[in-house]
């Protein structure tokens, strides 16, 4: 039994004519007759009473046609769903975000998916890269967007470099350090709390190379967590200074609440982000949509 045989039966049931049913399916009348005869042999029942030029379903035929109609409809819906999956219009996406990408991507990506792809079920979890990598391997996540410096190369991971974004210091508008007209040293800034996400060893080396041993994040950073919006809220309402991706402060900067704090010498640092998936795993089309969105957004 196959779907074509059921479609041929339904065409005869709907049209009452073998010739018209054959025309509907662009086959010869004899080919359609053989198709229905094969179905009858398989089910071992007579499905159509052939009386001259008139054809009607037998009692068995009516039962089979009723169920066949549901099966044909379901098959059509399955094809439609497969097409939507290929186009990224339906499906699921389980996304893990590092602290920097979370601050920049989460809200705009959720808005983007709600407006453009409402049929896709999106689940986003921000958190520590070190904790998210095992979850990616366990298939809890489909993809991660994280700090490149905090992920070690591995043969089971595909790590795509998404480029860099400028990092620096920022503080609230009206902060006492802003009165120094750009002549702020790291020691000047150390008089105030320094807020940051956990930093990689590479970033720590860069900070100490530029500002000395006192810039070691292990001792210099006094407010540390993976939640950048929480850190920025603290900075906005206190004299704490934020060290991190400057793109994360952009909405607060446009609102006049936060501003970049320029130190002397200037911090010449960037954050690099990675798009991480599992190797040897078929990629869902919606992952491609995410990749393009991330490429469009994660840049200065």
pLDDT in tens, 200-212: 888 889 899 999 9
Helix (H, G, I), strand (E, B) or coil at 120: strand
Instruction: Please state, for a pLDDT cut of 90, what percent of the chain lies above it.
Output: 58
Instruction: Please state, for a pLDDT cut of 70, what percent of the chain lies above it.
Output: 95
Class assignment of domain 91-155+279-297? alpha beta
Give me the chain's average pLDDT, please. 89
The residues pairing with 169 across neighbouring beta strands, listed in sequence order, are: 243, 261
Residues 202-243 have pLDDT tens digits of: 888 989 999 999 999 999 999 999 899 999 999 999 999 999
Report the pLDDT value the prediction gives residue 77, as an integer from 0 to 100.
67
Under 8 Å between Cβ of 71 and 19: no
Please provide the CATH number assigned to the domain covering 164-271: 3.40.190.290
Report the pLDDT value the prediction gives residue 226, as an integer from 0 to 100.
87
Under 8 Å between Cβ of 173 and 252: no
Q: Is pLDDT above 80 for 278? A: yes
Give the residue extent of every domain in the chain. 3-87, 91-155+279-297, 164-271
User: Do the first three CATH levels of 3-87 and 164-271 match, i.e. the same topology?
Assistant: no
Residues 119-165 have pLDDT tens digits of: 888 999 998 898 999 999 999 999 999 999 889 999 999 999 998 89
Q: Is pLDDT above 70 for 80? A: no
Q: Is pLDDT above 70 for 52? A: no
Q: What is the spatial distance between Cα 39 and Cα 17, in angstroms, rounded to a whole number?
A: 17
Identify the CATH assignment for 3-87 out of 1.10.10.10, 1.20.120.80, 1.10.1060.10, 1.10.1200.10.
1.10.10.10
Diameter over CA atoms, the chain: 103
Report the pLDDT value the prediction gives residue 171, as an integer from 0 to 100.
96
Nearest residue to 190 via CA among 173, 205, 211:
211
Q: In sequence order, which residues have a C-beta less than 8 Å from that of residue 287 and are 6 or more positions away?
A: 93, 142, 143, 277
């Amino acid at each position: 039994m196959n779907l074509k045989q059921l479609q041929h039966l339904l065409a005869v049931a709907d049209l009452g004519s073998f010739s018209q049913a054959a025309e509907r399916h662009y086959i010869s009348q004899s080919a359609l007759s053989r198709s229905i005869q094969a179905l009858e042999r398989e089910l071992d029942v007579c499905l159509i009473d052939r009386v001259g030029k008139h054809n009607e379903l037998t009692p068995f035929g009516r039962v089979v046609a009723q169920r066949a109609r549901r099966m044909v409809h379901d098959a059509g819906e399955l094809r439609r769903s497969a097409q939507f999956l290929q186009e990224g219009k339906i499906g699921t996406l389980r996304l893990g975000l590092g602290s920097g990408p979370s601050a920049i991507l989460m809200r705009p990506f959720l808005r983007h998916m709600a407006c453009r792809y409402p049929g896709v079920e999106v689940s986003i979890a921000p958190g520590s890269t070190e904790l998210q990598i095992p979850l990616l391997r366990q298939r809890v996540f489909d993809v991660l967007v994280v700090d490149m410096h905090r992920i070690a190369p591995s043969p089971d991971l595909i790590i795509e470099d998404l480029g860099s974004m400028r990092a620096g210091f920022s503080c609230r508008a009206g902060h006492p350090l802003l009165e120094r007209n750009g002549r702020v040293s790291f020691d000047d800034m150390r008089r105030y709390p320094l807020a940051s996400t956990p930093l990689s060893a590479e970033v720590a080396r860069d900070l100490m190379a530029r500002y000395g041993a006192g810039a070691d994040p292990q001792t210099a950073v006094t407010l540390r967590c993976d939640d950048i919006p929480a850190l920025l809220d603290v900075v906005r309402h206190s004299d704490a200074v934020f060290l991190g991706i400057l793109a994360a402060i952009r909405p607060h900067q446009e609102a006049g609440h936060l501003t970049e704090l320029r130190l002397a010498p200037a911090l010449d640092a960037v954050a690099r982000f990675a798009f991480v998936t599992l190797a040897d795993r078929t990629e869902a089309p919606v992952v491609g949509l995410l990749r393009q969105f991330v490429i469009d957004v994660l840049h200065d």
